[in-house]
Structure 1
Amino acid sequence: MTTPDAFREDGDEVYDRLPNHRKVIITCVLSLCGFLAPTSSTMVLPAVPDIASTFNSTGTIVNVSNALYLIGMGISPVFCGPLSQVYGRRWVCVTCGWLFTAFSIGTALSPNLASFFVFRILTAFQGTAFLIVGASCIGDIYRPTERGTAYSWYLSGALIGPAFGPFISGIIVTYKSWRDVFWLQSSLGGFAAVLLSLLLPETIHYKRSVELEGLSKSTYAHKLWQWTNPFRVIRLYRYPNLLIAGVASSALVWNMYSLLTPIRYVLNPRFHLTSPMQSGLFYIAPGCGYLLGTFFGGRWADYTVKKYIKKRGKRVPEDRLRACIPFMGAVIPGCMLVYGWSIDKEVGGVPLPVIVMFLQGVAQLFCFPSLNTYCVDVMQHRSGEVVAGNYMIRYIFAAAGTAVCLPAIEKIGVGWFSTISACFLVVSSFAVYATTLWGRTWSDRVDAKKEARQKSKQQVDREASQEPKI
């Protein structure tokens, strides 16, 4: 992938450290790793009734484990993101790869519901590192004008997985035990861990751990806490533009999980389906949409950036967000409304929901690359923490969507619930458009306030040091 001179920037030489074929290999490995944790969040869905039967529980209770899994995915970023800034990407990825495999084995062997819950949460905690650190790796090796395309391929694993996972597990559960689903997950996790160990080099441009060399234990611990404190990630939401990017990503993930989670409970009765494999077939539609979107969504984001570089004569990170607004504000909400009300009113037969599920899958791949890449572009020096914050908030919303979708659909119907999801997306798209207009101003204002506070503190410290001692 060669970048024309017109789109090169000062300091871009750092992205030439690795040849293009190594970058492609790294992207493929990270895409496979990104496939694992989100896939596990939905592979369990066709198996919910069987798991509930094994542990003498209910489908609603077992679905809570999935919500807890997603909460684990939301908490993990505030730890692994800062750690990757200090010790590097490779160390975090390889460690979490092997732990993901170990906890997946624990899930497959769970003797009771409590241990099933615990191992699921621990698996989520490790698996999310692939998403956070993997996204930072892409930002480390690709130029800003190339990242959209690279992110699209990388994200294909994270988005295709939740759609195809239920289809695969539906086949397994139809003929085998639900435990075989997690044995498959363990095998994939082990394979990914081996690939990471062999093929992932250190990609970070500067590891802060070099600043810790030669320090006393107390000073080492103090500085390490400062750099890895989870509240560093949370405090990033002082920047309104980062908060809006997080909420917009959350709207997309809410939509995805609230669509995928109740399929067996919503579509099986509607179309008189009787087996997990039959309902699993419906997951193929959005999965194929995600796959097709991979070829175009990232390229569209990069094209939009280059178009505005030609207009302005320079790159402005917020311009990338313009690529996702039509899809987030119109295409996906429209698909959700058609899907929800066609099921609710029992019109259109099987083809209509399948078509709109496919279209919203394509549209999501026109949104995620823009939002993810913006998080890296806008604050490259803290990319691990910025991406971590984005994933933290999006998976909290994913957990909420997973937990409330079934009770809400039972209470108000799938039509009205889909309408709520569509409204969430429309409001988020307006907020994203506001960010394209004023995002840089908001960011500069926060930086100015921080600088003023630091100068004030330094002035107070100087005055205190100059006071005569009695």
Structure 2
Amino acid sequence: MGSSTHSEPTDLPTPPPTSPKVVVGYDLPTWRKYLILFVISWLTLVVTFSSTSMLIATPEIASDLSTTPEILDVTNAGVLVAMGLSSLIWSPLSDLFGRRKIYDVAIFFMFVPSIGAAVAPNLAAFTAMRLVGGLTGTYFMVAGQTVITDIFEPLYRGQATGFFMVGSVAGPALGPCIGGVIVTFSHWRDIYWLQAAMSGFGLVLSIIVIPSIKREVEVVHVAGAQKLSLYKTLQKFNPLGVFRQLLSPNILLADVTCGCLAVTQYGILTSVRHVINPRFNLTTPLISGIFYIAPGAGFFVGSIVGGRLSDRTVRRYIAKRNGIRLPGDRLNSGLIGLFVILPISLLLLGWGLQEGIGGLALPIVAAFWAGVGLMGTFNALNTYTAEVNPAKKAEVICTKYIVQYLFGAGSSAAIVPLIDAIGVGWSFTFLVALDFIGGGMVLLITRVWTKVPNE
């Protein structure tokens, strides 16, 4: 098979007898595909849980570590930056040594810092452990999406991506909710012991369930056949190969749209305790933590419904084009979220809180629908970035998460000062404006860069 692409095919090494069994992803039985899907989704849950579980416990952690909640918000933004950049480390390693092996190593590097954060004696040690753990973050999203494209056929990827996103969207909601329970009845350090247990469980599942899949194994064998020099090995860590994908306008626009959505997501999650508690006289982390169930339920519903709607939209356009499928078609399924669901829910949430309208019921309902709009839109964009350039799918997905988490980090650090300066109503109106900009960029992709060749 590889003789046509190498000048000296006879020099290619054959895999040693001890190599792991290689499987063709599409040929896996359905039950095995969904078991793999559960594992990769679980690990994204662990990652996102770790990035938000401390939000509800910020005052308690700040008091224990002799710092301020504002400083902890900045360190949490630093963790999000580390998460965004993590794929620049782990993706090249997976090319060199194999996705399955590096995936398990990355889980281990998430497991150990969780223990370190649990026993950290001061702010410096606590921050260092969280940053090291964050440096594994988005690799699980990138690797997970490449696994999905390797084992699920195109017409089923939207639904599979929806189930995969359940983990990444459940974490931001469950983290503060469970964190509130722990802080109320125990100690904030137990949050990180729980994260360690979750990571350890994920490592065991990964070792048992996830096989070596043919496409990624071939990449590693080719790399081994080339007998890379030290220079060429180091070149794999050159981020220009990733950032070069942003020269494609459609990829850049999709990534920036994801960034705008991340600003909204972390704007909602980071501001909850700061905004909700004083307006409704909530005095314990447990009660305010329960509020996170509303956007979390919306995240869950939006992921599942968005995935089905994404696949249905693709089928409709295939029929319309007499069998031709284009990656950008599925982006049309997210337009209702960007132009209708998100603006209405965010305006009701922000101005309802500022003007004291609707009691506690209005922000709960509005936060739920904001979650639906966010994840319904995210689903189409996530699947699009995995499909738009199959030869460079890992690099394209990597750019998405870099942009997304950099925007999320900025939101996490800035949303509370912004609310203090201009009020929650105008702050959430600003989020609506960003989402309208994202909607305009998605329209550009679907109208300009989604055409049949030679049309």
TM score, norm. by length of structure 1: 0.88
After superposition, the C-alpha distances for 1:272-305 in whole angstroms (9 at most, x for unaligned) are 1100001001100011112223331101000000
8 Å Cα contact 1:257-1:402 kept in structure 2? yes
Residue 73 (structure 2) pairs with residue 63 (structure 1):
yes
Letter in 2 for 1:208: V
The CA RMSD measured in Å over matched residues stands at 1.8
Residue 236 (structure 2) pairs with residue 237 (structure 1):
no
Letter in 2 for 1:155: M
Letter in 1 for 2:376: F
Q: How many aligned residue pairs are there?
A: 430
8 Å Cα contact 1:29-1:195 kept in structure 2? yes
Letter in 2 for 1:365: M
Partner in structure 2 of residue 296 of structure 1: 305
Residue 38 (structure 2) pairs with residue 28 (structure 1):
yes
8 Å Cα contact 1:171-1:276 kept in structure 2? yes
Deviates more, 1:375-384 or 1:305-314: 375-384
8 Å Cα contact 1:233-1:388 kept in structure 2? yes
8 Å Cα contact 1:241-1:443 kept in structure 2? no
Post-superposition shift, 1:32? 0.4
| Unpaired stretches in structure 1, ≥5 consecutive residues | 1-12, 445-470
Residue 318 (structure 2) pairs with residue 309 (structure 1):
yes
Partner in structure 2 of residue 251 of structure 1: 260
8 Å Cα contact 1:97-1:192 kept in structure 2? yes
State the distance in 2 between where 1:212 and 1:274 align. 57
- What aligned pairs does 1:330-349 form with structure 2 within 5 A after superposition? 330-349=340-359
Letter in 2 for 1:263: V
One of 358, 369, 394 as aligned partner of 1:384: 394
Partner in structure 2 of residue 280 of structure 1: 289
Post-superposition shift, 1:211? 2.8
Residue 116 (structure 2) pairs with residue 106 (structure 1):
yes
After superposition, the C-alpha distances for 1:363-383 in whole angstroms (9 at most, x for unaligned) are 223111210110111111221
One of 44, 67, 80 as aligned partner of 2:54: 44
Residue 179 (structure 2) pairs with residue 197 (structure 1):
no
8 Å Cα contact 2:326-2:451 kept in structure 1? no
CA distance 1:382–1:204, change in 2 (3 Å)? farther
State the distance in 1 between where 2:319 and 2:337 align. 24
Letter in 1 for 2:220: S
Partner in structure 1 of residue 447 of structure 2: 437
After superposition, the C-alpha distances for 1:408-443 in whole angstroms (9 at most, x for unaligned) are 111111111101111000011011011011125799
8 Å Cα contact 2:25-2:213 kept in structure 1? no
Residue 240 (structure 2) pairs with residue 209 (structure 1):
no
CA distance 1:166–1:412, change in 2 (3 Å)? same
Residue 141 (structure 2) pairs with residue 164 (structure 1):
no
State the distance in 2 between where 1:283 and 1:204 align. 40
8 Å Cα contact 2:53-2:176 kept in structure 1? yes
Post-superposition shift, 1:92? 2.1
State the distance in 2 between where 1:186 and 1:73 align. 17
8 Å Cα contact 1:308-1:319 kept in structure 2? yes
After superposition, the C-alpha distances for 1:294-328 in whole angstroms (9 at most, x for unaligned) are 33110100000010000012001111111101111
| Unpaired stretches in structure 2, ≥5 consecutive residues | 1-22
Post-superposition shift, 1:215? 5.4
State the distance in 2 between where 1:441 and 1:240 align. 15
TM score, norm. by length of structure 2: 0.91
